[in-house]
Chains A and B, each alone.
Chain A
Amino acid sequence: MSQRLRTLLLSVLACALALAAGTACAQPLEYAVKAAFLTKFPAFVSWPAGAMRPGDPLRICVVGDNPFGGALELSARGRSVDDHPLEIRQLPLVDRGSGCQVIYAAGSARQSATEALQAVRGEPVLTVTDAAEGSARGMIHFVLFGERVRFHIDTAQAVQGGLAMNSKLLALALSVKR
């Protein structure tokens, strides 16, 4: 059992204890799942050639407020997609030169989620938004569905950015916007 999973399990356990204590703990579990999802999306997405040099890290950037705590780093530790090790970045704002392949646009006072999306529109950047953070919708949009974390997919945006979504990923989406 990897260290990352153990940590995740521990947080889940903590959440269960919190639930028993009657406090709100949905957040850590939900975000732990979302963090896990975020680190797994790149495996189902293809970036255009030239988006990354061989051996370059694949950067997952959390733009604005970070709701994950350390869960994202935990989940990304040791992972890589092809020869690109996952790297987690936290950015207050994003632009075309940020060097991110994935952004989680939670939005902040300095740059709203919509603005962040706008900033990388047409760029080969997988944009992920969260219904829990705002109404802005990136290529992948987290929602809670029946107590479970699910997502919608907008392939039109992905095509604009030159990204290709694995059909298996599409099959899991609650909806696919083409």
Chain B
Amino acid sequence: MNDPTQRFDLRPLGIALVSAIALLAAGSLLATRAEVEYRRQAEQQAQVQADILAASVSAALAFDDRPTIREYVDALRANPDIGAAAVYDTAGRPLVTYARKGAPPPPGHLPHLRDHATDGMMQVTSPVAERDTRMGAVYVRTLPEPFSRILGRHSGLGLLLIMSFVLLGVTSRAAAQLQRRARQLTDINARLQVEMVERAKAEEALRQSQKMESLGQLTGGVAHDFNNLLTVIMGGLETIGRHLTKLPANAENARLHRARDMAMHGAERAATLTARLLAFSRRQPLQPQAIDANKLVNGLSELLQRTLGETVTLQIVLGAGLWRTHADPGQLENALLNLGVNARDAMDGGGKLTIETANTALDPAYVDQLPESIAAGQYVLIAVTDTGAGMDSDTIERAFEPFFTTKDVGKGTGLGLSQVYGFVRQSGGIVRIYSELGQGTTVKIYLPRFFGDDEEAVAPRITDPAMMLGDETVLLVEDHDELRAYSGGILRELGYKVHEAADGAQALELLARTPGVVLLFTDVVLPGGMNGRQLADRAREMRPELKVLFTTGYTRNAIVHNGMLDPGVQLITKPFSFDDLAVKLRRVLDDT
């Protein structure tokens, strides 16, 4: 649109100038021609006048009849253009002269005229002759033409010229204005087009993010409900398992044991899926900590190589002096494994998988054109590149959508990249896919650089069953009846004294009545207008020393801000196992 040739066009101005000059030249030429023609006519008229006089006075001159000559000469007075006239004899002496008042007298001797026009006057002579007999000559001179008459004579042309100039001026002005308008219009049009393109891009980005957001809410909701159910199922299976071990070992019991194990395995796989769904919906509870991506990638290399198989070469290129980042290491491992699995599936006949790490900076210009909102600044880049089949642009666009898969039915869940996307976004980063069909794919994960101090290393896992028992009084708050029964069962089995409440009001009432409660174990999402966070705050007002353990599959609302634990908040995510809860409880209770 911004054609450089459309800068200010001087052509109309040039045309106007040339037209003006041509007009002036034509006008001058016409005026000169008219003037010459007029002079010629005036001279002719004067000549005719002189000829008439000459013819008239021939006899009078021949016979020296001066009164008659005088009469003829005086007749010229009637012509106001005649300034002077004279009749000369054959010797060139003036016989009769006439000069209008104010005009110079005729010459004292018959002049030989070469130029008939002098000082605007026209002077002519005419011989007086009759049948070859020369009698003398006459002289006639016109008056100089008054300026007003010259002006009058040329006024028409002058007026035309002036009008033409005015017209020319008006039209070139209009043309210039038109040109300016056209240019403005072009500019505006160009701007409009740019704006339209930008708007279309913004709309597309908004649509995409809205789609991801609504998909996230949908999957998050489903996953939350599933988590509750899975917790109950897994709890039931665990209880069955513990009781099975107490039964005598025979074939029937062994069959029961295998069945329980299979059911447990299925439930665990279901739990993994719901975890991924939650990851995509950015509602998974993360345990972020300062991590060194180089260390993490190194630690993962063996597992990755096993996952990739023998046909795929794994190459790891670690950036020197890599910054730390702040993320959930387990989820990051998950993300890299997911990418590894995708890469393996894309490289059917083998290939090479490269994992690179590097420090990088995202500048504002780059950040602005991303559909996701992200701050410009320093990021740790983890790039996973394969030499596989690659993706077309439509596939890239949909790659992060949950349940979108290009794999055969049953081979993929369509949740791998969703987990990567949800986890990276929840960790304050972005993930980009660069791919060409047949050229392979690069997935780049950008995680924000972490400037804070290292956190304490996670306490080692308690493995001694005896250390998992306790006798403290626990207030269990859970609106889901089955889940409350399951959790209560575990707590009692571990030796704890348990008081159960279905909502916040009931829990506070119980807390007021029961003096020995040392731990509040509450779901984050509660009915009755008070959520787990608010309940904990109120309970702490009553018992400042009260310890709190939250549980949720759905951490968005109260205790978790942007999916990250507030410092000091203890959380166990659903679905949790007997061991998970036992260990977590002891850690919370023993933490001073």
Contacts and interface: CB of A to CB of B under 8 A. Distances in A.
Contacts of B64: 33, 36, 148
B91 A43 contact: no
Contacts of A79: 133
Interface stretch (A10-18, A102-110, A124-132, A164-172): A164-172
A155 interface: no
A40 B68 contact: no
Contacts of B135: 40
Given A1-B91, A166-B59, A172 B65 contact: yes
Contact of B63 (A40, A42, A80, A82): A40
A10 to B, nearest CB: 13
B437 to A, nearest CB: 119
B545 to A, nearest CB: 158
Contacts of A80: 132-133
B60 interface: yes
B179 interface: no
Given A5-B91, A44-B59, A169-B59, A81 B68 contact: no
Interface string A127-170: 00000000000000000000010010000000000000010110
A37 B91 CA distance: 16
A162 to B, nearest CB: 17
A37 B131 contact: no
Contacts of B62: 37, 40, 43-44
B549 to A, nearest CB: 152
A2 interface: yes
A82 B133 CA distance: 8
B58, B131, B135 pick with most chain A CB within 10 angstroms? B131
B58 to A, nearest CB: 6
Contacts of A5: 90-91
B130 interface: yes
B60 A44 contact: no
Q: Looking at chain A's contact residues, is the secondary structure mostly helix, strand, loop, or mixed?
A: helix
B130 A172 contact: no
Interface in B44-84: 56, 58-60, 62-65, 68
Interface in A33-82: 33, 36-37, 40, 42-44, 79-82
Contact of A37 (B63, B68, B130, B133): B63
A18 to B, nearest CB: 21
A80 B90 CA distance: 15
Contact of A43 (B60, B68, B90, B130): B130
A140 B57 CA distance: 20
Contacts of B91: 1, 5
B533 to A, nearest CB: 142
A18 B468 CA distance: 184
Nearest to A167: B59
B398 to A, nearest CB: 123
A2 B56 CA distance: 24
A43 B59 CA distance: 9
B206 to A, nearest CB: 114
A36 to B, nearest CB: 8
A161 B437 CA distance: 134
A171 B62 CA distance: 13
B131 A82 contact: yes
A168 B58 contact: yes
B60 A40 contact: no
Given A40-B62, A169-B59, A2 B90 contact: yes
B131 A43 contact: yes
A43 B65 contact: no
A168 B132 contact: no
B326 to A, nearest CB: 135
Contacts of A2: 90
Contacts of A168: 56, 58-60, 130
A36 B65 CA distance: 13
A9 to B, nearest CB: 8
A97 B528 CA distance: 171
A153 B131 CA distance: 20
Contact of A81 (B63, B65, B133): B133
A171 B60 CA distance: 9
Contacts of A82: 131-132
A81 B132 contact: yes
A79 B130 CA distance: 12
Nearest to B133: A43
Nearest to B134: A79
A-B pairs with lowest CB-CB distance, top 10: A168-B59, A43-B130, A43-B133, A40-B62, A43-B131, A81-B131, A172-B65, A169-B59, A172-B59, A1-B91
19 contacts: A36-B64, A37-B62, A40-B62, A40-B130, A40-B135, A42-B131, A42-B133, A43-B62, A43-B130, A43-B132, A44-B62, A81-B131, A82-B131, A168-B56, A168-B59, A169-B63, A171-B59, A172-B60, A172-B65
Interface of B: 56, 58-60, 62-65, 68, 90-91, 130-133, 135
Given A1-B91, A40-B130, A169-B59, 5 more contacts: A2-B90, A43-B130, A43-B132, A44-B131, A168-B58
